[in-house]
Structure 1
Amino acid sequence: MQERNIGRTAFIALWCCVVLAKVVVAARLPLFVDEAFYWQEGRHLAWAYSDLPGLTAWTIRLGGELFGDSVLAARSLFVIVSAALPWLVVRIARRELEPARAWVAGCGALALPLFASIGVMALPDVLMALATLLCLDALTRMLRQISYGAAVQLAVGLAIGALSHYRFIAAIGAGMVALLLIARGRELLRDPRVIIAIAFGAAAWMPLLAWNIENAEAGLRFQLVDRHPWALHRDGITFLPIQAAFVTPLLLAALLVGAWRFRRHPNDALRLLALSGGIVVAGFFALGFFADTERVSFHWPLPGYVALLPLLPLVLATWPRWLRVLTWVIALAGMLSMLGYYAAVSSPELRERTAATKWYPQNFSGWDELAEAVRRRKAQMPEGTQVIADNFKVGAELGFALGDPAIPVLPHALNRAHGRAPQLALWGLEVGEDASAARPALLVVSPGDVKLSELLDHYQALCRRFGALPAPEVVDADGGSRRFLLFALEPREGAAPAPCVPPAIAWLNAPQAGERLPAVFEASGWAIKDVAGVKSVALTLDGRVVAQAEYGLHDDWPQRFYGGRSQDPSLPRVAFRARVDASGVAPGRYWLGVEVTGGDGSVERFAAWPVELSGEARP
């Protein structure tokens, strides 16, 4: 009894802390780009979309209707659902284990970083975890005794999963295989109540299938074909270290040991949990050698870990005390690190500190600064000015900030890479090849979403689509690591259109980002500007000009890099070099940037990144 009370107290205390942390972080964390697009889908209600079934979008929409238009409102129902999930783990474990051990399983759910952190963002993983636990709870009950209530719960769980994501098919497949391997499970599959529940769950896939039939299987092709190389590659071997990082090594080992140890257990419920969870984790491990590795996939095995959590107390009970303590310490540290990461991303100061590093959270950054600049600039333009976004990320984030879910978007490569292009086309929000008549308009371009090697082509495509472009207004965030260009496209007069002059492209070769520099140092790089050419280049510290560069030095690299596509009249003499004297500047961290003045008089800031000034003279 005392052990049970201690476990329950620890679980409730930990649950309160985790839920409170989630609410605080969810209120402050900027909206992730996928969340913003799901919000946009929620403003165009449908049974299914090009990237997902409808439930995620509906849940975000309902949260907004109940609690307002804030970021927390959009995530509110996901936070609430995620808070209920550990209790479902306890419910399943309590039925199969001693009550004291059930609370240990619940603590494991709260300590597992990948599971503890869901709900901070409005993503389908929350709903899939709910569906998984509902199905497992119903099935483990029915392995003891079939009831109409359990069959209804199974049907609801299957429907929620079907309406959440394509990936729930993996959980269904694993559960079906597990039932077939258990004699009592095979009996369940012959029971009319279970058959009806499965049929109900299968019917929940119909909206998604109907959408694909009507749209040339665009969603299925993206999820199953387009995004995956389906060729053997070595990246799958990184599955284990990645999972060890997001689950923590000892907790991962305990869950995998549970899957192996209980795969043939006489208790059918424990065997079902072990088999279904193990099959999901092993399946995604094998898939990693053939599937997409460019996008985030570390969370895919989560339904498998959810199934294995009730087995955790039984595994830990066989370990020595020191190893159990170490397991909990590392798991709690991992959970705090995961939530701490989101808290850090919520801080503009900490986001700026990570700029120009591989850890920079670009998809969370710059949206507030961009929305403020768009509001201000649009207010200065004629009434009826339309905002046009560079890609689905910009369109969705601006749509949320401006309360406009119908911002037109250019046919960007990102739209296709993330499976959003068919949905934008269905909404009529994809801008055609000739958009020269779309004036007045405020065109918002995100250069950071295009590879440097493809940026010139992107700018030239803008010229073909919109005609002459005015000099852009540059919007910087995080010291310049996040950069947007605003083009105010005014109505055309009767005169013949002027030639289109694309924005400049510049690169700082030296010094490198994060480099520690003396008071006087040299900087070099290159800059090009099609048609108009570059008139001068200046170096800036925190936006203040500190040196004029010598421009027009010979450099064949930009010409080779762009394959002769550039129309800069100075090529190949487009390099610059400058001696920067910062002896009057206090030591510390500064943003070193490039300011390019074009032959047309335009001034653009470019290539800002952090450097450390020591204040010392060069030895």
Structure 2
Amino acid sequence: MRNEQDAHRAKRAFLWAWGLVAVAKLLVAARLPPFVDEAFYWQEGRHLALAYSDLPGLTAWLARLGTTVAGTNVFGLRWPFLLLGAALPWLVVRIARQAHAPRASDEHTDDRSGDVFAWQAGLLAVLLPLGGLLGLLALPDVPIAFATLLCIHAGGRLLRKVDAGGALELAAGLAIGALSHYRFAAVIGVGLVAMLAIPRGRALLKDVRVWVALAVGAIAWVPLIVWNIDNADAGLRFQLVDRHPWRFHFDGAWFFVVQALLATPLLFAAMAHAAVRGWAGQGADDRAFARYCALLGGLTVIVFGVLAFFADNERVSFHWTLPGLYALLPLVPATLAQWPRGWRRATWSLAVAGLVVFCSYYLVVASTTARARFAAAKWYPANFAGWDALADAVRDEIERTPGTRVVADNFKIGAELGFALNDPDIAVLPHVLNERHGRAPQLDVWKLLAHDRASLGEQPLLLVVGASEVRYRDLLAHYHALCDKLGPLPPPRVVQIDHGRQRFLLFKLPAQRAKGDCTTPAMAYIDTPKRSARVSRNFEVTGWAFKDGVGIARVEITLDGKTIGTADYGQADAGIRAFWRHSNDPNHPYVAWTAHVRAGAVSPGLHWLGLRLVGNDGAIEEWPEQPLRIVD
């Protein structure tokens, strides 16, 4: 009776948590701006193919399905992924029930502890910060996780008894994973090792139905292989060679620390403990299945942890271990049952707190007001920010000059503007970001990669440049490269989001390439006060500014967007010219400035200091603001 009551309470807790999280994800997904990768997958979905440079086809197909049914908007893009994400905890429940189901010889028992553990495992899948919010974004991690859980459930079923249903489920899981991402190959490899390490697993390879399932999974990789054959292995080179240094670096030491923090430390420790107990044949009624889950989950985390010391450390990789974490979750409740009550409560509490923190992050990202307050933070979500304001500005410019063709200077802008304007064919210029993210080959396949002015046709252009996407020390060289391709750059329209943390420049270029020396946007820097400095109401501001081709006419100092003073511009500083050797501003070396400003009656506390740069060509450019604190 006690176990039956416990099972009822565990089921009720799971259903409440699953429902609340599903509703929260639905509400946030409908408001959260599109992530850059999501926009590119939408673009791939509008150019339907069996495979692409960065991924197999499934993610793009789901994006196309979603927007076909619900329209080109963030909810339309995400709803198929929300459904798959909502199904994941239920699959964990099924797997956990499978792990704790008594063997045939024990089926006369009336022990309901397996049901308790199953619902608790599902609840952990809801609360796991890394996995609980899966589906909120239209990313390949969602079908990867779904495919992994199908394969785990099929594996447990086949370990008990080989039948056509289990083989079919395994085939479906392998096919979905193969159509989701290159990274699923690691899950297949680890899963095969886990099966071969178990006597009952090795016996499965004697059954033809299992081989048929494996063959179906192998066939699902054919579209990706064909794409690479047709495109000089561009996708494989990016995934396996170009993006990884393949040399030892100590940054990998942070991998397990980050994993523990993102999964919450006590839950991560519980999964590690469950892996050890599972391999010893403890923690589940079906010992072979326990060893299978333990080995699959533990090895997946360890393999990616070792790779972290040699692989790409510039892009996010903390989500790579999710298949392994999901494999361990069915074993965790039985492990927690062995822990003292206080530690169990702390584990559950930390998991809830972690999920709340993750959800709060997305709420901040979805709020323009909240996001702007954190513009100076290192974790500022640049890949979510500013796309709606940029799209509004682009629409305005197009309406003013009908027949204008939009050109983006990198794939991020091309995809995000394409999604906002429902135009999947925006031309993109060569850019280091295209190469770094493996998108250049796909843009080339679509014939959207424009290498020069002639390839863009004889029509007016609206060039959209992401100034904040280029390292500042490389920005002037980037502007000159644009001049080389497209001619002198006219005065830009500046679209500045979140105090300039996201900054876009819009250039209206004529139908024919203009002639003359390279003219670029202004470059500037505030030497004093430093970022986040504490100053009185009357303070001094110093810095420098130049504008290649024409020079600077005036530098105005702004506070919270309002002009509070004009700088004394034209002071000599030969060091600036020495650093920016390619600059052709006629005023060099007289490009430094000083300003004594009065903040007036503003309230004490956080304010934003900025510049308004007026060029000799009439251009007026807002410069990114930096925080400071005014004290009485």
Q: TM-score range by the shorter chain?
A: over 0.9
Corresponding position: 1:485 with 2:488:
no
Corresponding position: 1:66 with 2:86:
no
Structure 1 match to 2:33: 30
CA distance in 2, matches of 1:394, 1:558: 31
In the TM superposition, residue 515 of structure 1 has moved relative to its aligned partner by 3.0
Corresponding position: 1:53 with 2:70:
no
Counterpart of 1:513, as a letter, is R
Structure 1 residue matching 2:181: 3-state secondary structure:
coil
CA distance in 2, matches of 1:26, 1:213: 37
Given the alignment, which residue of 413, 416, 426 partners 1:394? Answer: 413
Structure 1 match to 2:110: none
Structure 2 match to 1:405: 424
Structure 2 match to 1:236: 252
Report the more deviating stretch, 168-177 or 531-540.
531-540
CA distance in 1, matches of 2:534, 2:289: 60
* 1:292-311 alignment runs, 5 A limit: 292-311=312-331
Structure 2 match to 1:502: 520
Are the aligned partners of 2:496 and 2:624 in contact in 1 as well (CA < 8 Å)?
no
CA distance in 2, matches of 1:311, 1:54: 33
Structure 2 residue matching 1:538: 3-state secondary structure:
strand
Corresponding position: 1:253 with 2:273:
no
CA distance in 1, matches of 2:566, 2:523: 18
Structure 1 match to 2:109: none
Provide the TM-score with structure 1 as the length reference. Answer: 0.97
Corresponding position: 1:577 with 2:594:
yes
Are the aligned partners of 1:434 and 1:464 in contact in 2 as well (CA < 8 Å)?
no
Corresponding position: 1:612 with 2:632:
no
- Shift of the 7–525 alpha-carbon distance from structure 1 to 2, 3 Å rule, reads same
Structure 2 match to 1:590: 607
Counterpart of 1:522, as a letter, is E
Corresponding position: 1:384 with 2:378:
no
Given the alignment, which residue of 116, 119, 126 partners 1:110? Answer: 126
Structure 1 residue matching 2:558: 3-state secondary structure:
strand
CA distance in 2, matches of 1:59, 1:20: 21
CA distance in 2, matches of 1:250, 1:438: 62
Given the alignment, which residue of 288, 311, 315 partners 1:291? Answer: 311
* 1:162-201 alignment runs, 5 A limit: 162-201=178-217
CA distance in 1, matches of 2:488, 2:512: 10
Corresponding position: 1:352 with 2:369:
no
Are the aligned partners of 1:527 and 1:575 in contact in 2 as well (CA < 8 Å)?
yes
Structure 1 match to 2:385: 365
In the TM superposition, residue 477 of structure 1 has moved relative to its aligned partner by 1.1
Structure 2 match to 1:532: 550
CA distance in 1, matches of 2:516, 2:172: 61
Structure 1 residue matching 2:507: 3-state secondary structure:
strand
Are the aligned partners of 1:230 and 1:291 in contact in 2 as well (CA < 8 Å)?
yes
CA distance in 2, matches of 1:305, 1:294: 23
Are the aligned partners of 2:532 and 2:628 in contact in 1 as well (CA < 8 Å)?
yes
Counterpart of 2:200, as a letter, is R
In the TM superposition, residue 262 of structure 1 has moved relative to its aligned partner by 1.3
Counterpart of 2:438, as a letter, is G
Are the aligned partners of 1:38 and 1:56 in contact in 2 as well (CA < 8 Å)?
yes
CA distance in 2, matches of 1:83, 1:601: 55
Are the aligned partners of 1:355 and 1:610 in contact in 2 as well (CA < 8 Å)?
no
CA distance in 1, matches of 2:600, 2:608: 16
Structure 2 match to 1:567: 584
Report the more deviating stretch, 263-272 or 55-64.
263-272
- Shift of the 553–251 alpha-carbon distance from structure 1 to 2, 3 Å rule, reads same
Are the aligned partners of 2:59 and 2:180 in contact in 1 as well (CA < 8 Å)?
yes
Counterpart of 2:153, as a letter, is D
Deviations 1:20-52 (A, max 9, x none): 111111111100000000000000000111100
Are the aligned partners of 2:403 and 2:459 in contact in 1 as well (CA < 8 Å)?
no
Structure 1 residue matching 2:30: 3-state secondary structure:
helix
Corresponding position: 1:452 with 2:472:
yes
CA distance in 1, matches of 2:276, 2:544: 58
Structure 2 residue matching 1:394: 3-state secondary structure:
helix
CA distance in 2, matches of 1:543, 1:440: 32
CA distance in 2, matches of 1:313, 1:441: 60
The number of residues matched between the two structures is 611
In the TM superposition, residue 261 of structure 1 has moved relative to its aligned partner by 1.7
Counterpart of 1:418, as a letter, is H
Counterpart of 1:597, as a letter, is V
Counterpart of 2:607, as a letter, is Y
In the TM superposition, residue 258 of structure 1 has moved relative to its aligned partner by 1.0
CA distance in 2, matches of 1:253, 1:145: 33
Are the aligned partners of 1:442 and 1:486 in contact in 2 as well (CA < 8 Å)?
yes
Deviations 1:535-583 (A, max 9, x none): 2211112322211111222334433433x11112222332221111112
Structure 2 residue matching 1:605: 3-state secondary structure:
strand
* 1:407-422 alignment runs, 5 A limit: 407-422=426-441
Structure 1 match to 2:150: 134
Are the aligned partners of 2:195 and 2:201 in contact in 1 as well (CA < 8 Å)?
yes
Report the more deviating stretch, 586-595 or 22-31.
586-595
Deviations 1:218-238 (A, max 9, x none): 000000000101001101100
CA RMSD between the two structures: 1.4
Percent identity reads: 53
